[in-house]
Amino acid sequence: MSENMKLNFDSKCVHAGIEDYEHGPVIPPIYQTSTFKFKSTQQGAALFRGEKEGYIYTRMSNPTVEAMEKAVASLEGGYRALGCGSGMAAISTTLLTLLNTGDHVVFSEAVYGPTATLIVNVLSRFGIESTPVNSTDLKNIEEAMKPNTKVVYIETPGNPTLAITDLSGAAEIAHKHGALMVVDNTFMSPALQRPFEHGADVVVHSMTKFLNGHADVVAGIIVVKSHEDYKKFRSVLNQLGGVIDPFNAFLVHRGLKTLDVRMQRLSDNAMKIAKFLEAHPKVKWVRYPGLESHPQYEIAQKQQSAPGGMVSFEIKGGFAAGEAVMNSVKLCTLAVSLGGVETLIQHPASMTHLSMGREAREKAGITEGLVRISVGIENVNDLIADLEQALSHVEEV
Ligand SMILES: *Cc1c(COP(=O)(O)O)cnc(C)c1O
């Protein structure tokens, strides 16, 4: 691709990060090497001093990893990106780069479970304070801000209730108080939501989900906006060591090529499934950002270009009803995780959110009958037929 050509997002998915390589391969080669040979002691020393561009050691940088990083940075509209070994490696590296002892973090209470545990149980041991808030109401963020608040950490839509936070509003509050806004954009991917356009300072992803899209890689990424930030994050990542390896970077880069078509297809599928469920007599309610019944429907319209692939719904009859559906699906796969081409279904109360305990779940709106679906790219009629037959196993209440 010519450097100076301005491309639309779907074209960028196919071409971003692809350059010319020796022997002319169309796809970036996998540089499966831990270390790189120096041409001379002088050249090696110049690389270490940062005077020359080049590669030294794969924990520091690797061409296959860099190609994927450039692609994600381009799709998010950031300056550069840092590939990590998992979403949690990206999140922990981000927080350890931005926070010092004595600092305070405000975070959405609906964040991914291990993120909350990291902030509350691990960062607290290093003297970092935190306040979880229901960030769907910006007043709660404003009230939680303190003079030592350095980071406002937002995940939107949140998991599994799909609660949506107004990104521009949250960024404005963070910046007014001299804090940075970090956004976990895993649930949307840059195909549907680009947090930098709404004031975010750092964007993180679990690339395990939509970015890779094929349920065969665990990986994460940090996207930053400036060269200064890039240097700061790269240095900490190099010490913490949670980098992605070349083969996984290659797989993610391959997955990115179809990101836009996958996100459009699974969003269309999810919309039809959400409508089917909303009309089903055994379903109590459906939570989906594309339905007008979603409490933050207006905000979703403002900052998301499509509603995405995650649908949550509550079956009449609570836990037992949820279990009956889980045990009866044939095409949908009973598994946690999300964002792949295949439809996954799971039961948060007995699976991903079991460790929260019933009381905390109820407070967060995660009811006993709530079922979460990560809609894939199968034919939507097949998916609806499967859900229809699974729901027929639920006893009438
Ligand atoms: C899965 C997930 C993570 C963690 O990512 P891993 O790749 O499993 O470490 C973080 N945030 C969100 C929103 C996720 O869905």
Please tell me whether residues 187 and 76 are part of one structural domain.
yes
Domain end, chosen from 239, 256, 273, is at 256
Tell whether 1 is covered by a domain: no
- Catalytic residue set: 59, 112, 184, 209
CATH number at residue 275: 3.90.1150.10
Tell whether 135 is covered by a domain: yes
The number of CA neighbours under 13 Å toward the Cβ of 381 is 0
Tell whether 397 is covered by a domain: no
**Residue with structure tokens 């009811």?**
367
Residue nearest to atom 2 of ligand 1 (CA): 206
* pLDDT recorded at residue 367: 87
CATH number at residue 14: 3.40.640.10
Residue among 95, 117, 187, 209 to mutate when testing ligand 1 (max atoms within 8 A of CB): 209
Using alpha carbons, select from 158, 157, 141 the residue that is nearest to residue 149: 141
Tell whether 377 is covered by a domain: yes
Rounded to the nearest whole angstrom, what is the distance from the C-alpha of residue 215 to the centroid of ligand 1? 12
* pLDDT recorded at residue 381: 98
Judge whether 310 and 374 are in contact, CB under 8 Å: yes
- Which residues are CB-neighbours of 367 under 8 A, at least 6 positions away? 314, 318, 349, 361
Domain region containing 101: 9-256
pLDDT in tens, 26-62: 999 999 999 999 999 999 999 999 999 999 999 999 9
Residues touching ligand 1 (Cβ under 6 Å) are 86-88, 112, 155, 159, 184, 186-187, 206, 208-209, 218, 220
Please tell me whether residues 245 and 281 are part of one structural domain.
no
Please tell me whether residues 240 and 267 are part of one structural domain.
no
Tell whether 167 is covered by a domain: yes
Judge whether 266 and 307 are in contact, CB under 8 Å: no
Say how far apart CA 307 and CA 116 lie, in whole Å.
25
Residue among 208, 252, 351 to mutate when testing ligand 1 (max atoms within 8 A of CB): 208
Please tell me whether residues 250 and 282 are part of one structural domain.
no
CB crowding 292-313: b at 16 or more within 10 Å, else e: eebebbebbeebbbbbbbbbbb
Q: How confident is the model at residue 2 (pLDDT cuts 50, 70, 90)?
A: low
Judge whether 92 and 44 are in contact, CB under 8 Å: no
Tell whether 3 is covered by a domain: no
Please tell me whether residues 135 and 194 are part of one structural domain.
yes
3-class SS of residue 327: helix
Q: Is the pLDDT of residue 177 over 70?
A: yes
What is the CB neighbour count within 10 angstroms for residue 232? 14
Q: What is the pTM of this model?
A: 0.96
Q: What percent of the chain has pLDDT over 70?
A: 99
Please tell me whether residues 83 and 169 are part of one structural domain.
yes
More confident site: 3 or 205: 205
Q: Is the pLDDT of residue 4 over 70?
A: no
Q: Across all residues in the chain, what is the average pLDDT? A: 95
Domain end, chosen from 256, 276, 295, is at 256
Judge whether 81 and 70 are in contact, CB under 8 Å: yes
Please tell me whether residues 102 and 242 are part of one structural domain.
yes
Please tell me whether residues 249 and 319 are part of one structural domain.
no
Tell whether 230 is covered by a domain: yes
Residue nearest to atom 4 of ligand 1 (CA): 87
Please tell me whether residues 138 and 266 are part of one structural domain.
no
Say how far apart CA 158 and CA 112 lie, in whole Å.
8
pLDDT in tens, 105-164: 999 998 898 999 999 999 999 999 999 999 999 999 999 999 999 999 999 999 888 999
pLDDT in tens, 273-323: 999 999 999 999 999 999 999 999 999 999 999 999 999 999 998 888 888
**Structural domains of the chain, count:** 2
Judge whether 94 and 202 are in contact, CB under 8 Å: yes
Domain end, chosen from 256, 291, 310, is at 256
Please tell me whether residues 18 and 120 are part of one structural domain.
yes
Residue nearest to atom 6 of ligand 1 (CA): 87
Sheet holding 104-108: strands in order across?
Answer: 80-84, 220-224, 202-206, 180-184, 149-155, 104-108, 129-133
What is the CB neighbour count within 10 angstroms for residue 265? 18
Rounded to the nearest whole angstrom, what is the distance from the C-alpha of residue 87 to the centroid of ligand 1? 5
Please tell me whether residues 73 and 194 are part of one structural domain.
yes
Mean pLDDT of 313-335: 91
Say how far apart CA 286 and CA 278 lie, in whole Å.
6
* pLDDT recorded at residue 1: 52
Please tell me whether residues 169 and 272 are part of one structural domain.
no
